[in-house]
Structure 1
Amino acid sequence: MTYDSSRVPAQRAPGDGCAVALDLRVAVCPGLTVSVPARLRYHTADPYAVFLDNHTDLATPITWVFARDLLATGLHGWSGIGSVSVHPGVDDRLDSVFITLTGEGSSVVLRAPANRVRAFLESTESLVPTGLERTHLDLDGLLRRLCDGGAASPGP
């Protein structure tokens, strides 16, 4: 089942954040692509990061966390090394952004609609402008959670 994610606007997520649903495409072989339901999320409690939930139709989605700046830079040029890289489409794919995820022994290249990613990033900017991320960090709370053995990142 596929859905038209272009009709779903970026939405505020609980706890000062935003999220947008995406229909990512994966090329499994030349001429054949598969739809991967996904969601980009952002939380002001973790202002430098974005969360990419893949397979949102599963009970537990697969979540990747990477820098908001990496995603923003990837709209205009190659960005990132290692586990996540992002780059714009070329030629007939100018309306796309490609996100490469590399895990243990395998990689996947996801094609996302550039306008949806751009709109998502604009929503994150309205919450925390680039350069002001440090003003949204609760370093004392983070240190307290780490010392108590709790999670370092915000919840859903």
Structure 2
Amino acid sequence: MTTEAVHAELVALYDGTTPVRSRWSYRADSPFTVTASFQTDRDRWVEWVFSRELLVDGLEDSAGIGDVRFRSLEERGLRMLVVEIESPEGYALLELDHEAVAGFMGETDELVPIGSEEEHFDVDALIEELTRV
């Protein structure tokens, strides 16, 4: 099993004005998911795990109908990726530089080509983890 990973630190804008630090990660041994953590306070981060496919789709068109939604937006000559996240604790609309997120996704594609995730997924390790008592 591999532990290769891709990481990126990106700045998002909350409600179009307030900068929010975010950390994005992708691991080859968890090939179907992307993790994004958003800093809410000095020492507090909120972590979201979502489908890699959802993010790929969101870079091109509106994607998502649940707690995480993505869509591209071009405004004043800037292309952004809008991320909407919601939970019982709250709602946030964040804007990220589209090119930066696309660059991160390009790095994930180099690590695990899109469409070949199944080849990198260790189902036996997952079963072992789930059945460990």
Aligned to 2:27: 43
> Which amino acid counterpart does residue 133 of structure 1 have in structure 2?
E
Quick one: distance in 2 between partners of 1:36 and 1:139?
36
Divergent runs of 4+, >6 A: none
- CA deviation digits over 1:41-73, x for unaligned, max 9? 000111010000111874452110001111111
Give, in angstroms, the shift of residue 106 of structure 1.
Answer: 2.9
- Listed as ranges, the gaps of 5+ residues in structure 2 are none
TM-score (norm 1): 0.78
Match of 1:130 among 114, 120, 127: 114
Question: Which structure carries more strand by proportion?
Answer: 2
- Normalising by structure 2, we get a TM-score of 0.91
User: Structure 1 stretch 71-80 or stretch 85-94: which is displaced more?
Assistant: 85-94
Give the number of equivalent residue pairs: 132
CA distance in 2, matches of 1:84, 1:51: 12
Give % identity: 27
Superposition RMSD in Å: 2.0
1:119 is aligned, of 103, 106, 109, to: 103
What is the CA-CA distance between 1:94 and the residue it aligns to?
4.4
Task: Map Cα deviations across residues 11-34 of structure 1 (whole Å, 9 max, x no partner).
Answer: xxx92010110111011xxxx611
Q: Distance in 1 between matches of 2:77 and 2:48?
A: 24
Contact 1:37 1:57 in 2 (8 A): no
Instruction: For 2:66 and 2:17, locate their aligned partners in 1 and report how far apart those are by CA, in whole Å.
Output: 24
Q: Which has the higher contact order (CA 8 A, sep 6+)?
A: 2
Per-residue deviation, 1:39: 1.1
Partners of 1:38 and 1:56 within 8 A in 2: no
SS of 1:74's equivalent in the other structure is helix
Unaligned runs of 5+ in 1: 1-13, 150-156
